[in-house]
Amino acid sequence: VFAHVVRAPEDPILGVTVAYNKDPSPAKLNLGVGAYRTEEGKPLVLNVVRKAEQLLVNDRSRVKEYLPIVGLADFNKLSAKLILGADSPPIQENRITTAQCLSGTGSLRVGGEFLAKHYHERTIYIPQPTWGNHTKVFTLAGLSVKSYRYYDPATRGLNFQGLLEDLRSAPAGAIVLLHACAHNPTGVDPTLEQWEQIRQLVRSRGLLPFFDSAYQGFASGSLDADAESVRRFAADGGECLIAQSYAKNMGLYGERVGALSIVCKTADVASKVESQLKLVIRPMYSNPPIHGASIVATILKDRDLFNEWTIELKAMADRIISMRHQLFESLRAKGTPGDWSHIIKQIGMFTFTGLNSEQVAFMTKEYHIYMTSDGRISMAGLSSRTVPHLTEAIHAAVTR
């Protein structure tokens, strides 16, 4: 009965890892998926995460009961505080509801399904380009996906006029997906002045902002600076949605830990919204897993562990920034044609190199370097040892 099933293509991002794993070359390098690696090219479990896990294991009072449908209460409160700041009006006025979800993707999906059921406007505008999964997540959630201009290939920067024009002509009430910081895949963010203009436009047109915050602390090394865009929207009295992920900033990729927050006008509305979120979640996966959220809550509520986390987080962000400088200097030293200054101007985990899909295919075939076909490379996958190999490959690709 399944003989008619057609083979689906691999995922454009996770499929890169599948291809990488099959390559026997010792020189192979995976710059596809956004996952942090050490200078030795190894995945990293933060020390503070190991400590928290030890505390959890030693606590014999802990059991493996089901969590509530919206997850661990402590985790939810602390997550809202982390992204908005403790003084944020929605927290002070108790008009925010937060549900622990399956990392950023799960938070986006639950938020999308809630909006498709309970919000009057089903259209969501996403930046062009955006993370490859956004369109699929929101389409399957029941929303209609349109895009707004974001990236300008000519300047390798923000197409701010295009962005403003497209949001200005979006129907009143439309949902707008915004990357809180470290835009994926371009590494191009609005300045704070530009954020302010976006905020005013969004509010004056009655658009509904939905933030995807996957890199808090990872872009600049500061948890507060990377949350500034979201905080401004949350503080202005209007509604917004926020999807948070702890995959990158706590290195909890496979634990699937994240949160969806919905900022409402009143506490009463927030509690009704929460009751409906439960109806979205229960038939989807019943309730979320306990381990990752317990790690996060343990770290966020203990001042020493929290401080230790910020130091480790900054070290990861700094290593990525140093990789940007090393790659830029290396291409310059080699005399590779082109202006590569965008490598040091873009921020976050990724550099949007400007290499086209043929150049990417060439680099994979000849140099065993794996990356997404849009030319995005994960700077977190690079190390001082592998910068020369990547430089050779880019040089060969652009001078062929």
Among all residues, which ones are annotated catalytic? 131, 212, 248
Whichever of 139 and 341 has its CB closer to ligand LMR, that residue is: 139
Token pair recorded at residue 124: 């969501």
Provide, rounded to whole angstroms, the least separation between the CB of residue 348 and ligand LMR. Answer: 10
Q: Give buried/exposed letters for 217-230 (b at 16+ CB in 10 A, else e).
A: bbbbbebeebbebb
Q: How far is the CB of 131 from ligand LMR (least distance, A)?
A: 5
When the beta carbons of 133 and 276 are compared against ligand LMR, the nearer one is: 133
Closest CA to 195 of 184, 185, 183: 183
Q: How far is the CB of 345 from ligand LMR (least distance, A)?
A: 20
Nearest approach in angstroms of CB 34 to ligand LMR is 3
- Spatial CA neighbour of 119 closest among 70, 178, 173, 199: 173
List interacting residues with ligand LMR (CB under 6 A): 13, 33-34, 131, 133, 184
CA torsion 216→222→225→230, rounded to 10°?
20
Sequence-separated (6 or more) residues with CB below 8 Å from residue 308: 47, 48, 51
β-bridge partners, 212: 179, 243
Q: Which two tokens stand for residue 240?
A: 């917004």
Hey, what are 35's tokens?
A: 């996952």
Distance in Å, CB of 372 to ligand LMR, minimum = 8
Separation between Cα atoms, residue 36 and residue 249, nearest integer Å? 9
Which ranges in 71-191 belong to alpha helices (H)? Answer: 73-84, 89-92, 103-118, 134-141, 160-168
The Cα–Cα gap between 194 and 180 comes to 13
* Cβ-based nearer residue to ligand LMR, 33 or 241: 33
Q: Which residues contact 302 (CB under 8 A, 6 or more apart)?
A: none
Residue whose CB is less far from ligand LMR, 190 or 381:
381
